[in-house]
Chains A and B, each alone.
Chain A
Amino acid sequence: MNIVSPDLDRRFRDAAAQEGLLDAAYDLVDTPIGKLLVATTERGLCRIAYDAEPDREIELLARTFGVRVLRSAKPIDPARRELDEYFDGRRRTFDLPVDVALLAEFNRRVLGELARVPYGEVVTYGELAARAERPRAARAVGTVMNRNPLPIVLPCHRVIGANGSLTGYGGGLDRKEMLLRLEGAIL
């Protein structure tokens, strides 16, 4: 054999994470709405991407968090477990720490309010803007939702238009609808 065995490869990736040498670890997670690329720093979950082109995502992670980006299953296991439970309908809130330290203050404030929107409920962009004490910033809130680095865990799928339409979703409207249906927010 003259290539690295999957076992040796996995042991290296585990050891790299175990020794705390990574700026960000990532892995792919299978869900009923497709494969997600999930990444974490030492501080918490930092990225969930739909339909990810891994090369592009890895570059982005390296630019944002540092060049020591490595695929490693173990650091992602807690997120994998909570996502599995969520999609099984056995989990309504995520207990995972999130790392949004590098986002702009406004984005953090809006995402903080978003995190408080309960499972199975929806709010409008305008309401969320009001909760973030920026009542006239519905459009800006839309932009924050569009750039949400942690969809599903930070539930931007629960934000809809003032007329009740689903409006838009980074992962595509089909997925927004599936998530809301899973949570019983729509029939």
Chain B
Amino acid sequence: MVIPPFETFYAAHRDEVFRFLGRRLGRDRAEDAFQETFLRALRAYPRLRHGEHLRAWAYTIAGRIAIDEHRRPRADADLPELASLDGRPAFAQLEHLADELPPTERAAVVLRYGYDLDYAEIGAALGSNATAARQAASAGIRRLRRKEPQ
């Protein structure tokens, strides 16, 4: 799939990414995070090798930035950290573990367990629906379990 011009990518996803950031961060912080999300996407854009899963990609960047924002100490913020056993953020561990999964399963697993998105959000990111997202995430988890050394 050909990589679309950035304008096309941006116009297609800006509103949903902004809504997603708004739910995570509140409106004020969402504005900064929004700009950072698309600037980061723009910096990485020439390195993309194909135009598939761009929506999930946008959500992944936004999710990462939302987490960075959460970590930033803010007087007006009382939002919980994502739990992580050894101090490394959950998404970082998962992205590595999930490397070999098929793209849809990988995106579903990372977005669900790394970024704590609900299945409706993941379905939206993947261009499907909550049911399909749940199935992709469980298929991914099953596959990861099979790979796990006993």
Distance (whole angstroms) from the CB of A58 to the closest CB of chain B: 5
Interface residues of A in 37-84 (CB under 8 A from B): 55, 58-59, 61-62, 66-71
Residues of chain A with a CB closer than 8 A to B6's CB: 22, 62, 67-70
Contact at A62–B5, with CB atoms within 8 Å?
yes
Residues of chain A with a CB closer than 8 A to B46's CB: 66-68
Distance (whole angstroms) from the CB of A92 to the closest CB of chain B: 34
Bits for A21-48, please: 1 = Cβ < 8 Å to B, else 0: 1100000000000000000000000000
Q: How far is the CA of A58 from the CA of B35 in the complex (A)?
A: 22
Contact at A4–B14, with CB atoms within 8 Å?
yes
Contact at B5–A8, with CB atoms within 8 Å?
no
Which of A11, A22, A55, A62 has the most C-beta atoms of chain B within 10 angstroms of its own C-beta? A62
Does chain A have a CB within 8 A of B150?
A: no
Contact at A59–B5, with CB atoms within 8 Å?
yes
Question: Could you count the A-B residue pairs with CB atoms below 8 Å apart for me: how many are there?
Answer: 62
Contact for B39 among A2, A4, A15, CB less than 8 A:
A15
Does chain B have a CB within 8 A of A19?
A: yes
Closest A residue to B51 by beta carbon equals: A67
Residues of chain A with a CB closer than 8 A to B35's CB: 8, 11-12, 15
Residues of chain A with a CB closer than 8 A to B22's CB: 2
Q: How far is the CA of A49 from the CA of B9 in the complex (A)?
A: 22
Contact at A3–B18, with CB atoms within 8 Å?
yes
Does chain B have a CB within 8 A of A16?
A: yes
Residues of chain A with a CB closer than 8 A to B43's CB: 21
Interface residues of A (CB under 8 A from B): 1-4, 8-9, 11-12, 15-16, 19, 21-22, 55, 58-59, 61-62, 66-71
